[in-house]
Amino acid sequence: MEPISVQPMREQVAAILRKAIFSGELKPGQELVQEEIANQLGISRMPVREAFQILERDGLITLQSHRKAVVRILTDDEISDHYEIRALLEGEAAARAAKHPGEHEEILSAFEDTVKMADQGSTSEFVSANEAFHRSIWEASHSPRLVMLLNLLWNGLPPHLPELLPQQPSRSAQEHARIVEAIRAGHDDEARAAMTEHVLRSLGDFLHHRSEITGGDAQKN
């Protein structure tokens, strides 16, 4: 039997607030107060404070004094720039991973975990499995510098689409299959293309979802 993975409270709070921001429940410019959030969630203020720090790192809020924060206006251009750069780097990581067959079994194992979580409909577990899958490809690139850059991008605006779009896990798992097939076949160009398309498709889905929530009023710059 596999051990149960439990997210730290700060990560759970950050996920709740992140979803509220991206869904439009929390509006740009809206003030967030640690004590009020803690009371709403029935928890202490400490994990809320830590969640605020995570969301500030993500670029989603601006911390203020007196235990408060303000929701940032994240423009479409900022989001597109982030995902497009990530697509370039993740595509390169996949291409390099195709050249290191000794790492392919670990990638396959991580891929199988994403399929299992998608089939089970476990969103939070899929988010964790999805990150592990992507990281297995980064590590298989054998490029510490590339891994460092991708870590910065992942931490800057993590891809939490499964928390917003119900169909995302199954769609991602299908695209992961194409990526894994190209990597295991040693086809670096195909692996690069499959990963690039996967990340850019996620961008398109996110912007479409955002447009529906905002009525097309998301800022461009």
The predicted-structure confidence for 132-168, as pLDDT tens digits, reads as follows 999 999 999 999 999 999 988 886 666 666 566 778 8
The predicted-structure confidence for 168-207, as pLDDT tens digits, reads as follows 888 999 999 999 999 999 999 999 999 999 999 989 988 8
Cα–chain center distance at 14: 13
> What's the pLDDT score for residue 100?
97
The predicted-structure confidence for 18-62, as pLDDT tens digits, reads as follows 878 877 789 889 999 999 999 999 999 999 999 999 899 888 899
> What's the pLDDT score for residue 85?
95
Give how far Cα 197 sits from Cα of 172, 183, 210, Å: 11, 15, 20
> What's the pLDDT score for residue 146?
97
Q: Where are the domains of the chain?
A: 9-71, 76-216
Does residue 69 contact residue 56 with C-beta atoms inside 8 Å?
Answer: yes
Checking if the pLDDT of 219 tops 90, the result is: no
Give 5's contacts (C-beta < 8 A, 6+ positions apart): 125, 128
Name the class of domain 9-71: mainly alpha
Checking if the pLDDT of 1 tops 60, the result is: no
DSSP states of 82-114: HHHHHHHHHHHHHHHHTT-GGGHHHHHHHHHHH
Whole-prediction pTM value? Answer: 0.76
> What's the pLDDT score for residue 75?
85
Give 149's contacts (C-beta < 8 A, 6+ positions apart): 89
Name the class of domain 76-216: mainly alpha
Distance between CA atoms of residues 23 and 11, nearest Å: 18
> What's the pLDDT score for residue 157?
67
> Higher model confidence: residue 65 or residue 179?
179
Distance between CA atoms of residues 143 and 47, nearest Å: 34
